[in-house]
Amino acid sequence: MSDKVLMKGAEALAEGAIQAGCRYYFGYPITPQNETPEYMSRRLPEVGGRFVQAESEVASINMVYGAACAGVRVMTSSSSPGISLMQEGISYISGSNVPCVVMNAMRGGPGLGNIAPAQADYFQAVKGGGNGDYKRIVFAPSSIQEGVDLFVDAFELADKYRMVVMVIVDGLIGQMMEPVEFKTRIDVSTLKTPEWATVGRHGRDHANIITSLTLDAAGLEQWNLKLQAKYAQVELTESRIEEYQMDDADYAIIAYGTMARIAKTTIRIARAKGIKLGLLRPITVWPFPAKQIQTYVGKLKGTLTVELAYRQLFEDVQLALCGKIPLGWYGRGGGVVPGPQEILAAFEEQFGKGR
Amino acid sequence: MSDKVLMKGAEALAEGAIQAGCRYYFGYPITPQNETPEYMSRRLPEVGGRFVQAESEVASINMVYGAACAGVRVMTSSSSPGISLMQEGISYISGSNVPCVVMNAMRGGPGLGNIAPAQADYFQAVKGGGNGDYKRIVFAPSSIQEGVDLFVDAFELADKYRMVVMVIVDGLIGQMMEPVEFKTRIDVSTLKTPEWATVGRHGRDHANIITSLTLDAAGLEQWNLKLQAKYAQVELTESRIEEYQMDDADYAIIAYGTMARIAKTTIRIARAKGIKLGLLRPITVWPFPAKQIQTYVGKLKGTLTVELAYRQLFEDVQLALCGKIPLGWYGRGGGVVPGPQEILAAFEEQFGKGR
Amino acid sequence: MAEQMKVIYERPRSWANKVTHYCPGCTHGVAHRLVAELVDEMGLVDKTIGVWPVGCAVLGYDYFNFDSVEAAHGRAPAMATGIKVTNPDNFVFTYQGDGDLASIGMAEIVHAAARGWPITVIFINNGNYGMTGGQMAPTTLLGQKTTTSPLGRTPQANGFPIRVAEMLAQLDGPAYIARVSLDSPVNIRKAKSAMRKAFNAQVRGIGFSLVECLSTCPTNWKLTPVESMERVRKEVMPYFPLGEFKVVEGVL
Amino acid sequence: MAEQMKVIYERPRSWANKVTHYCPGCTHGVAHRLVAELVDEMGLVDKTIGVWPVGCAVLGYDYFNFDSVEAAHGRAPAMATGIKVTNPDNFVFTYQGDGDLASIGMAEIVHAAARGWPITVIFINNGNYGMTGGQMAPTTLLGQKTTTSPLGRTPQANGFPIRVAEMLAQLDGPAYIARVSLDSPVNIRKAKSAMRKAFNAQVRGIGFSLVECLSTCPTNWKLTPVESMERVRKEVMPYFPLGEFKVVEGVL
Amino acid sequence: MEHNVVIAGFGGQGVMLIGELLARAGMEEGKEVTWLPSYGPEQRGGTANCAVVVADEPIASPLLTEPQAAIVFNRQSFDKFEPAIEKGGLLVIDSTLIDRKASRADLDVVYIPATDIATELGNSKFTNMVLLGAYLGKVNPISIASVHGALSVFLTGKKAALIEVNKKALQAGVDFVNKK
Amino acid sequence: MEHNVVIAGFGGQGVMLIGELLARAGMEEGKEVTWLPSYGPEQRGGTANCAVVVADEPIASPLLTEPQAAIVFNRQSFDKFEPAIEKGGLLVIDSTLIDRKASRADLDVVYIPATDIATELGNSKFTNMVLLGAYLGKVNPISIASVHGALSVFLTGKKAALIEVNKKALQAGVDFVNKK
Amino acid sequence: MERVSIDEERCKSCGLCISICPVKILIISDRLNARGFRPAQCTDQDKCTSCGSCALICPDIAIELHREVKV
Amino acid sequence: MERVSIDEERCKSCGLCISICPVKILIISDRLNARGFRPAQCTDQDKCTSCGSCALICPDIAIELHREVKV
Ligand SMILES: Cc1ncc(C[n+]2csc(CCOP(=O)(O)OP(=O)(O)O)c2C)c(N)n1
Ligand SMILES: Cc1ncc(C[n+]2csc(CCOP(=O)(O)OP(=O)(O)O)c2C)c(N)n1
Ligand code: SF4
Ligand code: SF4
Ligand code: SF4
Ligand code: SF4
C-alpha cells in the first residue's frame, strides 16, 4: 500500500497532470475544482513549471493557447460556466491544430445553477460548444485513479493528434478522497519541442506561424478536410469502453463517470435479485464507443441510459443503437445524484423485473 | 410592388426585428452582420428605442440579459466566434427563464476561420453551447423575406415561452439584397410589462427576483423539470418544416437556410432530368421537425442531407429516421457554398440516377 | 410628562429581515446595511433594482425588499446597463466583489465607468476571493498569502495588485469615485456619506458612481473579526488609501 | 577615388517583402515598418514571437520573417502571457487595434499591464474599427461620426472615449507607457525611439511596455491619406496628447 | 425567364453599384431579383464581385457557380470568371484595362474600351456605367428606362447632377455593342 | 465487508476531519476507502457532512443514500439523516447539543454528551474525536491503533502536542459506549 | 424597552460590537443560539450612551438602539 | 543606382511621400501598376537631399534611399 496516497480528486488529478508532463497551468477559481489550481500553485513551481492565475476563463484559455503554440504540455480546468466562457478559445485552439488539455468539473446548471455534481455539459463537450466543425477527445473517468491514469493518455493523445483533449468529471469526483497511485511519470526532459512550435526561429530557415484564419474559402475547406480526416482517424482508433458484468447480461446500463460508478452498486443489487444486468461505460465519450456497444445488438433485451442530465448521452446511445435494442432512459438534474436503488427502481419501472 | 423594398439581408432582418417590437439592441461588430448593428444604431433612436454598442459579445449578451429582465423585446446579433463568447450568457438567460432573441450569421470556422457562409454552428445552436440542460428555439430562414417574417414569431415565442430564440442565418443571407415586404408591425404600446419583470416594485407587494441560482440540488432539479416540461411543450407544438415538391418525390434533399434555397435549383435541374427529387426544409432546427420527416418513411427511397458543415444536421436526420430510409450526406466546409450542380452530382454519386 | 422611546437605530425597512449566510464578522453585512439604510432614507425602495454578483454576495437579493437580479460573474455592470437603459428612471446599482469586478469583470467595469451612464457600483475590496475559498484577487497585497499565492504574492509569480478607484478616476465618464473603509464606526459613517453621494450621482442623473469599500474576510484571512479590522487599518489602507478620487460638479 | 552608394534607407530584413493588404496611406504600414526596423537593429529576429490581433492587422504575421501567432479578438495579451511564461528569454510583442485592445480586450490588457511581466504592446489607435468597416471604437472622439454613431458620438448615446495610456500608467505593473503619433517624419522618428524603449523594457527584463500609436484610417474616415494626417494633428492629438506616461528606472 | 450575371473587379471600381442598379431596376419592373456580393480581405482595393439574378419566378439560388454572363473590370476577374460562364454565355471586358483575349470559343465576348470611353465622357469613374450599358445592349433582363429610374434612387441631393452623365455613359455602352 | 457512515454537523465542528481520519486509517490498513464531502453555501457556519466508506473490495458508489450509520453534531443533521439510515443501522448523537430523541425504533442509537465530555477534557474542540470514538466503539471498520496512526499524519509540527489529548478524547468515546 | 436590544438569533458572535463599545457594556454570553453561536449581550443598559457604534459596526443588523426621552 | 528608388508595384499611390518631400521632387505618375494604382515617382534624383522623410512616412516600404559617397 505504500505507493498509495489518500487525496482529494481535484488534487490527485492535478498531480496526475504533472506526472503526465504538464508544467504549465492557467486557470481561474471556480467551485467544485478550486483544489486543482490551488494544488498547481503549490506544486508547479517545485517541478520547474509555472502556475498563472488568469483574470478570467477567457484569459485562461487564451494563455493556454499561447503556451500550446510554444509546444509545451499545458492545461486549464474549470467548471461549467467557466467552460462556457472558453468556447471561443477552444474553437481557436482546435482550428489552429495545437494540443492542450481542458478539465471540466461539471456542476448543476443551466446558468449559475449550483455546485452539485452534474453531467449536463455533455453536449457542449462532445457536440457543440464553440463555433465551427471541430472535435475534442473527451475522457470521462469514473474514479480518481482512472482520472489520474487517463491524464497521461490525455496529454499523449493531445500531442499525437494536435488537438484539444477534455477530461470531464463532476464535483463528486473532484471533491471526494480515495487512495490513488501515480504509476506513470513522464520525464519532461524527453519531450521534444515540436517543429511547428512558435518558440522563436533560433536559426530555423523559416518562420513558424500558427493561425486559425484562412480567408480563402477553398483553402479553409481544405484545412477543414484535414481536420476531419484526423477526427476520422481518432474515431477509428481511440474510442474506449469498460464492459462490466456483460458476459451474461440480459440488460445493460449505459452510463459514464460518477453515474457509472453508482450504477455498479445497482448492478450488484440487481444481480442479487436475479436480474442479469451489466454496465457499458464509455471511457471516451468522444469518440463515442458506438462500435463496441453495437456488438451487443441481438444479445441484449434492453439498455437503460443513466445520466445526470436530460437525454444528452442518450442521443449518442440512440445514434449507436438506432432502435435495434429497446432503449430506456433515466436522468436526474440540478445536482441531484440518484442512489443505486433509485436507478434500480427506474430500471424495473421501464423493463419490469428484468426477465 | 410598392410595398417591397430592396434591402441587404442584415438590414432587412434588423428592420424585421423592429417591426416585431424590438426596441433594444446590444451588440458588437463582426462581419458578416455589421449592417445589423449599424442599421439599429440609425433606426432605433427614431422609434424611441436604444442601440448600445457593447464592449464585447460577453457584455452584449449580459446587457441583453439585463434588458430581458426588464421585460422588453431585446436582441443581439453576432457571428460565430462572437456567439461562442455568448454561451455563458445564453445559459444564464435560459436558466433564468427570461426571453430574448439572438441572431447568428454563421461564418467559416473553426476559430477565426473566415467570413464566408457556413452552417457549422448548428450543434452549438441546437445541442451544446453553454452549460447545463437548456434549449432554445432555433429558426433557420432561407430567404430575407422569411427571415423578416420569422422575426415576429421569434419575439412572440420568446415572450410566450420565456426563452431564448435564436435565428441562424449565414453571411450569404446577411449580405445579399432581395426585395422584402414588412407585413406585420407590432404596436409596442400594446405589449405589457410582464408581472415577473424587475422594473422596480412601484407599489407591487413583493420584490421580483430573477436568478439562475438554486443552491439546493433538489430545488434546482425541480427548476430543471419545469424547464424540461416547457421544452417538451415547445417540441410538441412549435416545429416547422417546408415541404417542397414532395408530393410525388422518390427522394428528398434535407437542408435548411441557404443550402435549402440552392437545393431548390438542384431539384429543378433534377426533375428536368426525370429524377423525382423534393426538399424537406426544417424551418425550426430546434425543435427539429422529426415527426414531419418521419411521415415519409415508406415513401422515400432515400434522403440526401446537404449542409455547410460536417454531419451536424445529419445527426438530427439520423435520429429522426434511424435507418428507416437510406441516408446520404453531402457537406462542404470552410465557407465553400456548393452550386446546384454539385449537389446534384453528390446525389447521383450516392443514389445513382435516382430511379 | 411621559417617557417615550426614541429610535436611535432600527433595522432598515428595505432589509428583508433574514439572517445572512455571511461568516461572523464579515463586513459584507455592514455594506448591505448601508445600502438598505440609504434606500430607505432616499425613498428608493420602489424604483431600485439591485444587480448581485457571483461571490459571497451572490444571495444578496434575498436580503432586501426591492427588485433584484443575479448577474453572471463579473458582468453586473453590463447587466445593470441593460436594465438602466430600458428604464432610465429606476435606481440601478451593482454590488460586486474584487474578483468579480476587478478580475473577470474588468472590461465591463471600465466600460461602464467610461460610458459614464448613471449606475452605481458598490465595490467590496476584501483582498481575496471569499466565496471560492480565499484565492488571490487583483487586490491581494504583495506578500499576502492566499490559497493560490501560497508563498505570498510576488510581482514575479503573481503580478502587482490593482487600485481600481484610482484607475477608473482617470476616465472622463465617472461622476463620483471614492474609497472608504468599513473597519470602524467613524469610517462606516464616512462610508455611508460617500455612498449617499454615489446614490445621488445617479438619482440626479449626473453619471456613473463607484464606492470601493475596504472590507474584511475573517474566514479566509484566518483572523478573528476584530483582528481583521486591525489588519485593514495596518496593512490594507497604506496600499489602498481612503479618499474621493473623482467628484464632478453637482455631486453632493 | 571611386563612388559608392551609401544606404540611407533599405527595406528591413525581418520584413517578409510582401505587399500588404492595407489601404493606401494607412499608417498600420508605418507601425509595421518600425517593428521590423527595431527587430533588425536589436537583433531579435531569432527570438521574436509576434502576437497578431483580429483587426486590420490580422494578417500581420504574413509580413515578417519571425515566428507569429494569431490571437482571438482582444486576447493577444493573454496569449502573449502564455507564450512568454513558457520561454521567458524570447521577445514577445502584441500588435493590437483599439477595438481589439480597448474594447473587447480591456480586461486582458489591464491585467497584463498590472502583472507587469515583460511583454511589449504596440497599440494602434485609429479611432474606429477599421476591419469591420468603421464602427465606433472606445477611442472614437466625441462628435465623430462612425457607422454605429451615425449622428456623431455623444456621451449620452455612446459614452465617453477612453485614454488607454493614461489609464494604464496608473498601475504599478508597467515599466514603460507612451503615446506617439505616426503623422509626420518627425513624429515617426519619435515613435521609433519610444518603441525602442518599449522593446528594451522587455529585453532588459524590466517589465511590461506599451506604445500607443495615433494612427489613421483614411478609408473609414473618408479622408485622403494626407487629410488623415492632418486630422490626427488637429483633432486627435488635443484629446490624446503625446508623451511618456510611465518610465520606470532602467528603461532606455 | 431568368437572367443572371456576375460583375467583378477591384473594390472602388463601382462593381457593386451597377449590380445593385440592375437589381433595383428589376424590382421596379416587378421582377424577382437577388444581389449577392463577395469581397476580398481588403477594405479598399482588392477584388470584389457581385452576382445579380433577375427573374420572373421566385429565385432559388442567388449564388452563381455558372453565370450566364460576366462583366469583368480587371485581369484577375477575367481569369477567374471566364472559365465559369455557362456555355454560350456572355463575357463583357473592359479592354482598356485588360489586354488579354478570351480563350474560350463558345462565348459571346464584348471587348469594350470602357475606361477610355468614360474618360472621354469626363471621368474614368463612369466606366462601370459604360460596361453596364454594354451588357444591357446585349441582353434584356430589364429596360434602360428602369435603370434610369433606379439611378435617381442612388443619386440624390448634390449627386443628382450626375444623373445625366451616368445616363450618357450607359448609353455609350449600349451604343458600342449595337453599332458593332 | 463494507462499512459506511455519514458524519454531519456545522462547518467548523470538525466533521470533515474525523471522516478523513477514518478514511486515512482505513487506507493504512490496506482497505479500499472513499471520503465524500458535502457543503452548504456558507464559508463558515452552515451545515456540512461527509460520507465515508471502508471496504475490502473496490467501492462502487461513494455516495450514501442509505448509510449504515450516521454521526450527527447538530439538530439539522439529526433531522436530515435519521430517516435515511438503513434498517437496523447506527445513529450516534451528541446529546449535549441535541435535545431530541430518535423517533425510529429500528435503529441502534447512542446518545453521548460528547461536547460535555470534550469540555471536561479541556476543550469542546475535541467533541468530534469523542463522537468518532463512540462510533468506533460500536462498529469495527478499522482499529483504534490505525486511527492513532492517522492522527500523526494530521497533527505535525506544533500541533503534534495535541495528539495525546485527541487520543484521550477518542478513548473517552469508546469507553462511553463500552461501559454502557 | 431596552436601550441596546440584541437579536440573539441574528448574532453570530463576531465580537465587533464588543470591541468598539466605548463604555464596555457588551460581552459574549454563554448561551448558544439555534445556529450554534453565543450571542453578544448587554451587561448594563443604563450605561449605554446611545453612541450607536455597536449598531453601526454590527454586520448582522442584530442590534437596535432606543432611548427614553421626556415628552 | 537612383537616390530615391520607388518600387512601383508596392506603391499604393497614397501621396504621403509627396506631401512631405521638402524639395518637392515626388509626383504621382500616370502609369498604372498591376494592382491598379498609379505609383509615385521622383522627378529629379539629383535634388534629393537624403532627408529620408519619404521613406519614413511610406506605409508600404516602397521607398529605398541611397546616396553616392566618395570612398
Ligand atoms: C464564470 C465563473 N467563473 C468563476 C466562478 C467562481 N467564482 C464564484 S465567486 C468567485 C470569486 C468571488 O470573489 P469576490 O468577487 O472577490 O467576492 P467575495 O466572495 O470575496 O465577496 C469565483 C471565482 C463563477 N461562478 N463563474
Ligand atoms: C469575438 C469577435 N468579435 C468581433 C469580431 C469582429 N472584428 C474583427 S476586427 C474587429 C475590430 C477591429 O478594430 P480595431 O481593433 O480597432 O483594429 P483596426 O481594424 O482598426 O486596425 C472586430 C470587431 C471578431 N473577429 N471576433
Ligand atoms: S468567506 Fe470572507 S467574504 Fe465571504 S462571507 Fe465569509 S468572511 Fe465574508
Ligand atoms: S480600413 Fe482603415 S485601418 Fe484598415 S487598412 Fe484600411 S485604412 Fe488601415
Ligand atoms: S456585532 Fe452583531 S453579530 Fe457581532 S457580536 Fe455584536 S451583535 Fe453579534
Ligand atoms: S508614400 Fe509610399 S505608397 Fe504612398 S505614394 Fe509614396 S511611395 Fe507610394
Helices (H), ranges, G1-71:
16-20, 53-57
Is residue G63 lining ligand 5, measured as CB closer than 6 Å? yes
Q: Three-class SS of residue C128?
A: strand
pLDDT at D243 over 80: yes
The count of structural domains within chain H is 1
pLDDT of amino acid A178: 96
Contact indicator for C183, C232 with CB cutoff of 8 Å: yes
The alpha-carbon gap from G53 to the nearest alpha carbon of chain C, in Å, equals 5
Q: Which long-range contacts (CB under 8 A, 24 or more apart) does C193-197 make?
A: C194/C244, C195/C34, C195/C35, C195/C38, C195/C122, C196/C38, C196/C41, C196/C42, C197/C247, C197/C251, C197/C252
G36 — pLDDT class (breaks 50, 70, 90): confident
Closest Cβ opposite residue B217 in set A116, A221, A224: A116
Predicted local confidence at residue A354, as pLDDT: 64
A41, A75, A211, A213: best mutation site toward chain D, by most D Cβ within 10 Å? A211
Question: Over the stretch H6-54, which tens digit does the pLDDT of each residue have?
Answer: 999 999 999 999 999 999 999 999 888 888 789 999 999 999 999 999 9
pLDDT in tens, A26-50: 999 999 999 999 999 999 999 999 9
Question: What would the pLDDT profile of D8-38 be if each residue is shown by its tens digit?
Answer: 999 999 999 999 999 999 999 999 999 999 9
Residues with CB under 6 A from ligand 6: H 6, 11-17, 39-40, 57-58, 60, 62-63
Name the closest ligand to CA C223: 3
For residue E124, the tally of other CB atoms under 10 A from its CB is: 18
pLDDT number for residue E41? 61
C82–B68 CB contact, under 8 Å: yes
G10 touches chain F (CB under 8 A): no
Asked whether C97 lines ligand 1 (CB < 6 A), one says yes
**Quick check: CB of C55 below 6 Å from ligand 1?**
yes
Give the domain range for residue G43. Answer: 4-65
Cβ of C32 closer than 6 Å to ligand 3, yes or no, is no
Which residues are within 8 A (CB) of C88 and not within 5 positions of it... i.e. 6 or more apart? none
The number of the ligand 5 atom at minimal distance from the alpha carbon of G16 is 1
Measured distance between the N- and C-terminal CA atoms of chain C, rounded to whole angstroms: 40
Per-residue HEC secondary structure of chain B comes to: CCCCEEEEHHHHHHHHHHHCCCCEEEECCCCCCCHHHHHHHHHHHHCCCEEEECCCHHHHHHHHHHHHHCCCCEEEEECHHHHHHCHHHHHHHHHHCCCEEEEEEEECCCCCECCCECCCCHHHHHCCCCCCCCCCEEECCCCHHHHHHHHHHHHHHHHHHCCEEEEEEEHHHHHCEEEECCCCCCCHHHCCCCCCCCCCCCCCCCCCEECCECCCHHHHHHHHHHHHHHHHHHHHHCCCEEEECCCCCCEEEECCHHHHHHHHHHHHHHHHCCCCEEEEEECEEECCCHHHHHCCCCCCCEEEEEECCCCCHHHHHHHHHCCCCCEEEEECCCCCCCCHHHHHHHHHHHHCCCC
Largest CA distance in chain F: 46
Kindly indicate the confidence band of residue B354, based on its pLDDT and cuts at 50, 70 and 90: low
User: Cβ(C55) to ligand 3 under 6 A?
Assistant: no
Residue D185 has pLDDT above 80, yes or no: yes
CA distances to A71, B76, B221 from A66, rounded to whole Å, are 9, 30, 39
Contacting residues of G for C28, CB less than 8 Å apart: 59
Ligand that comes closest to the CA of residue G63: 5
Q: Does domain C28-247 have CATH number 3.20.20.100?
A: no
Query: Which chain H residues contact residue D185 at CB under 8 A?
Result: 20, 51-53, 56-57
**ipTM associated with this complex:** 0.97
Distance between Cα F44 and ligand 3 center (Å): 8
Helix (H, G, I), strand (E, B) or coil at D172: coil
pLDDT band at E90 (very low <50, low <70, confident <90, very high): very high
Q: In chain C, how many H helices and how many E strands?
A: 10, 10
pLDDT at A63 over 60: yes
Task: CATH number of the domain at F127, please.
Answer: 3.40.920.10
Chains contacting E (3 or more CB pairs within 8 Å)? B, D, H
**Residue-wise pLDDT tens digits, F9-48:** 987 889 999 999 999 999 999 999 999 998 766 566 677 8
Average pLDDT over residues A156-167: 98
The minimum-distance atom of ligand 3 relative to the CA of C25 is 7
Beta bridge partners of B277: B251
Judge whether residue H57 has pLDDT over 70. Answer: yes
Q: Whose CA is nearest to atom 4 of ligand 4?
A: D130
Residue length of chain G: 71
Instruction: Tell the residue nearest (CA) to atom 12 of ligand 2.
Output: D55
Cα D218 to middle of ligand 4, angstroms: 7
Tell me if A118 sits within 8 A of A334, measured CB to CB.
Answer: yes
Domains of chain A: 5-237 (3.40.50.970), 243-351 (3.40.50.920)
- pLDDT per residue over C17-32, tens digit each? 999 999 999 999 999 9
What percentage of chain A has pLDDT greater than the value 90?
Answer: 97
**Domain positions in chain C:** 28-247
The pLDDT assigned to A1 comes to: 42
* Furthest-apart CA atoms within chain D: distance in Å: 72
Cβ atoms G3, G44 nearer than 8 A? no
With a 6 Å cutoff on the Cβ, whether G6 touches ligand 5 is yes
If contacts are CB pairs under 8 Å, which of residues 24-63 in chain E contact chain B? 24, 27-28, 30, 32-37, 59-63
Q: What is the pLDDT of residue D55?
A: 97
Mean pLDDT for chain D?
97
* Contact predicate B66/C68, CB 8 Å: no
| CATH number of the domain to which H22 belongs | 3.30.70.20
The pLDDT value recorded for residue B1 is 41
Average pLDDT, chain E: 92
Which alpha helices (DSSP H) does chain C contain, by range?
Answer: 28-41, 76-86, 98-99, 106-115, 155-158, 164-169, 185-203, 218-221, 225-231, 237-239
Nearest CA in chain C to G54: C185
Supply angle C-alpha F132, F133, F138, rounded to 5.
100
Q: Which of C154, C194, C189, C179 is nearest to C240 (CA)?
A: C179
> Crossing angle of helices E144-154/E163-179, nearest 10°?
150
pLDDT in tens, D39-98: 999 999 999 999 999 999 999 999 999 999 999 999 999 999 999 999 999 999 999 999
Would you call D105 helix, strand, or coil by DSSP?
A: coil
Residue G60 located in a structural domain: yes
Q: What is the mean pLDDT of residues C110-119?
A: 98
Q: Which residues of E44-62 are buried (b: 16+ CB within 10 A; e: fewer)?
A: bbbbbbbbbbbbeeebbbb
Interface partners of A (3+ CB pairs, < 8 Å)? B, C, D, F
| pLDDT value of position B272 | 96
Task: Tell if the pTM clears 0.90, that is, is over it.
Answer: yes
Read off the pLDDT of residues A293-314 as tens digits, 9 standing for 90 and up: 999 999 999 999 999 999 999 9
CA distance to partner chain B, nearest, from residue C239 (Å): 30
Q: Chain F: list its partners (3+ Cβ pairs within 8 Å).
A: A, C, G
Q: Which pLDDT score, from 0 to 100, does residue F61 have?
A: 87
For residue A85 and ligand 1, the question of a CB distance below 6 A is answered with yes
In a domain, G71, yes or no: no
pLDDT by residue (tens digit) across B199-232?
Answer: 999 999 999 999 999 999 999 999 999 999 999 9
**Across the A/C interface, how many CB contacts are shorter than 8 Å?**
51
Q: How far is CA A6 from CA A9, A184, D222, F166, in A?
A: 9, 17, 68, 21
Q: Rounded to whole angstroms, how far apart are CA atoms D203 and D201?
A: 6
Distance CA(E99)–CA(E84), nearest Å, equals 20
Query: Above pLDDT 90, what percent of chain C?
Result: 97
- Averaged pLDDT of chain C: 97
Considering only CB atoms, B80 lies closest to which of A120, A132, A315, namely: A132
Ligand nearest the Cα atom of residue G54: 5
Helix (H, G, I), strand (E, B) or coil at A169: strand
Distance CA A110, CA A81 (A): 8
Atom 6 of ligand 3: nearest residue by CA position: C23
Q: Report d(CA D60, CA A195) in Å as an integer.
A: 22
Q: Do G12 and C1 touch (CB under 8 A)?
A: no
The predicted pLDDT at position E44 comes to 65
Domain count of the fold of chain F: 1
- Are E61 and B261 in contact (CB < 8 Å)? yes
Summary mean pLDDT of chain F: 92
pLDDT of D154 strictly over 90: yes
The single-letter code of the amino acid at F57 is E
Yes or no: say if D67 and A205 are a contact pair by the CB < 8 Å rule.
no
What is the CA(C180)–ligand 5 centre distance, in A?
21
Q: Read off the pLDDT of residues A196-255 as tens digits, 9 standing for 90 and up.
A: 999 999 999 999 999 999 999 999 999 999 999 999 999 999 999 999 999 999 999 999
Q: What is the pLDDT of residues D92-133, one digit of tens each?
A: 999 999 999 999 999 999 999 999 999 999 999 999 999 999
